[in-house]
A and B are shown apart, each in its own frame.
Chain A
Amino acid sequence: MRHLLGITHLQRADVEEILAVADSFAEVTRRSIPKVPALRGRTIVLGFFEDSTRTRVSFETAAKRLSADTVSFSSSGTSVSKGESLRDTALTLQAIGADCLVVRHASSGAPWQLARWLERTCVVNAGDGAHEHPTQALLDCWTLTRKLGPLDGMHLVIVGDVAHSRVARSNVAAFTLLGADVTVVAPRTLLAADIESWARAPGSVKTSDDLDRALASADAVYLLRMQLERQHEALVPSLREYTERFGLTRRRLDQLAERVAVLHPGPMNRGVEIAPEAADDPRSLILSQVEAGVNVRMAVLFLTLGGQHAVEGVAGE
């Protein structure tokens, strides 16, 4: 891989390869000294133009376990706040010698633009606007497949603010690419118009506003974070009503079959989209997701940076 920009551009074999390499890194993570020299001497720049804690810490941990050097910057306190353009910032980082730029940006498509500008630096998308968050989708796929087995024919339910969610878009693409049938449950105001186009063969996606019915046949339920900062847009009448109709409440948890896995990308609003009991339930894979994140990001960094300086035009554009 030269870049990891989005799930949309991956084939099933690419996803499965990343997940398999993550298995190897999971073994590394279990060791007493969880570090390998694979990317010694390579520089990975973490450019977070938008706030993030877990994704950034996860990428930084992954890079350090690969023995890469990491440089971290955010838009505040850098020349970005002085008005430098994204292109100039990117070219400066490349000139300094960044081998990889892990980027999170509020503008959808920013990583694609960066990939066009950068010749020597590979780009890994850590979340762009409401567009894609591919490493989140990959770590969710790794968590689900390693806990539940192959996703072919499984019924996965994604609940919440789909319209503003890059996680939902990437996950619908990834889950369906691996053969799952996805039901997206959300209030009409929080549904995206083009949701059918997110699905990839051989899976499928459909929408619903009846969570209880969807859960009855679900193998896993994936709750999206209710973006409280969007409350002023009046997309839902009230949070209490939202929780009642679309939250994984205590009542729904009690009715949920034993085999159903519960996932959430974090950070959680306990008591809004997910009841505290659900988050701490044995069926919850939420902490497994966080663990998986490091292994999967190690795999992504290893596969994008490996072969970067191929002598025989192996990775030539």
Chain B
Amino acid sequence: MQDPASSQHAPADASAGPGGSASGPTPPSGGVFVARSQVMDGADLARATRRMAHEVIERNHGVSSVVVVGLYRGGARFGEQLAAALSEIEGVSVPVGVLDVSFYRDDIALRRVVPQAVTEVPVDLTGKVVVLADDVLFTGRTVRAALDALNDHGRPRAVQLAVLIDRGHRELPIRPDYVGKNLPTRRDERVEVGPDGVVIGERVPIAGEGRP
């Protein structure tokens, strides 16, 4: 196919990467991730998740109408863990879904956007309290897209936002309700969240990889 872009779609998909919603003039795509420092380990993440679960329960006086929806990709695992913590603490099963927001992004025309997972929302969200879960909150554009996407699955009574890392640099009036850790960063840095913790670093271009 007459398509020079297809070969570079993997690195270009910065938004779905662990850095959160990268966008704006310098999406740090391509190259390799070089870790600089670890800011949380796996146990820290588990403790933060558990503390946020308690906050969700406190704020909503239980979990009776709570549905957790993780934002693919980084928020999917966090959503599962948050829902598991809620279920364990309250002793009832909390429904959990996963949302891929590709079709609702505001930059579809500007770069190559490819959905990485099939959206799975287990219940009609009308009347529910939806807790959106994401690993890294950055520009807020992914969350904006998620709010639009949620609308197509019903009309929730309220939507709350839980993030493991808030790294700042918001481009939209969006703020989280539950935060694992506030992490001041430079815009060009990368934040990677994995099962073993949170690492801050940067993308370093590989010689010869740069395109004209």
Q: Distance (Å) between the CB of B5 and the closest chain A CB?
A: 4
Asked if A239 is at the interface of the complex by the 8 Å CB criterion, the answer is: no
CB distance from A305 to the nearest CB of B (A): 8
Query: What separation, in Å, do the CA atoms of A308 and B109 have in the docked complex?
Result: 5
How many chain A residues sit at the interface, stated as a range, is 35 or more
On chain B, the residues within 8 Å of A5 by CB distance are 1-2
B148 CB within 8 Å of chain A:
yes
Given contacts A14-B6, A38-B103, A306 and B115 within 8 Å (CB-CB): no
**A28–B211 Cα gap in the complex (Å)?**
36
Docked complex Cα distance between A182 and B119 (Å): 34
Of A3, A4, A308, A315, the most chain B CB neighbours within 10 A belong to A315
Tell me the interface secondary structure of chain B in the complex: loop
Given contacts A37-B104, A38-B104, A307-B110, contact A24 B115 (CB under 8 A): yes
Cβ contact of B112, chosen from A27, A66, A306, A316, cutoff 8 A: A306
A31 on the B face (CB < 8 A): yes
The answer for the CA separation of A185 and B3 in the assembled complex, in Å, is: 34
With A27-B118, A28-B103, A38-B108 in contact, do A315 and B152 touch (Cβ < 8 Å)?
Answer: no
State how many angstroms separate the Cβ of B6 from the closest Cβ of chain A: 6
A47 to B114, CA, bound (A): 27
- B residues 84-142 near A (Cβ < 8 Å) are 100, 102-104, 108-115, 117-120
Task: Give the chain A neighbours of B9 by CB distance below 8 A.
Answer: 17
Q: How far is the CA of A28 from the CA of B12 in the complex (A)?
A: 25
Interface residues on B, range: 20 to 34
Given A3-B1, A115-B2, A315 contacting B112 (CB threshold 8 A): yes
Interface of chain B residues 10 through 26 with chain A (CB within 8 A):
12
Contact at B152–A314, with CB atoms within 8 Å?
A: no
Q: How far is the CB of A132 from chain B (nearest CB, A)?
A: 12
Q: How far is the CB of B16 from chain A (nearest CB, A)?
A: 13
Task: Check B110 against A317 for contact (C-beta < 8 Å).
Answer: no
Given A14-B6, A27-B120, A31-B153, do A314 and B111 touch, yes or no (CB 8 Å)?
yes
Chain A window 21-41, contacts with chain B (Cβ cutoff 8 Å), 1 for yes, 0 for no: 101101110010101111100
Least CB distance, A267 to chain B, in whole angstroms: 29
- Contact of B148 with A37 in the complex, beta carbons under 8 Å: yes
Is A155 at the interface (CB under 8 A from chain B)? Answer: no
Task: Indicate which residue in B1, B152, B153, B211 contacts A4 across the interface (CB closer than 8 Å).
Answer: B1
For A115, the closest partner residue in chain B by CB is: B2
| Residues from 296 to 313 in A contacting B, C-beta threshold 8 Å | 302-303, 305-313
Q: Is A1 an interface residue when CB atoms closer than 8 A count as contact?
A: yes
Kindly provide the distance from the CB of A174 to the nearest chain B CB, expressed in whole angstroms.
Answer: 13
What 17 additional pairs, Cβ within 8 angstroms, besides A27-B120, A306-B112? A2-B1, A2-B2, A3-B1, A14-B1, A14-B3, A23-B118, A24-B102, A24-B118, A28-B119, A33-B152, A35-B152, A39-B108, A302-B108, A306-B108, A306-B114, A308-B109, A310-B112
**23 CB < 8 A contacts A-B:** A1-B1, A2-B1, A3-B2, A9-B2, A10-B1, A13-B6, A14-B1, A14-B3, A17-B9, A24-B117, A27-B119, A35-B152, A37-B103, A37-B148, A38-B104, A303-B114, A306-B113, A307-B109, A307-B112, A310-B112, A314-B5, A314-B8, A317-B2
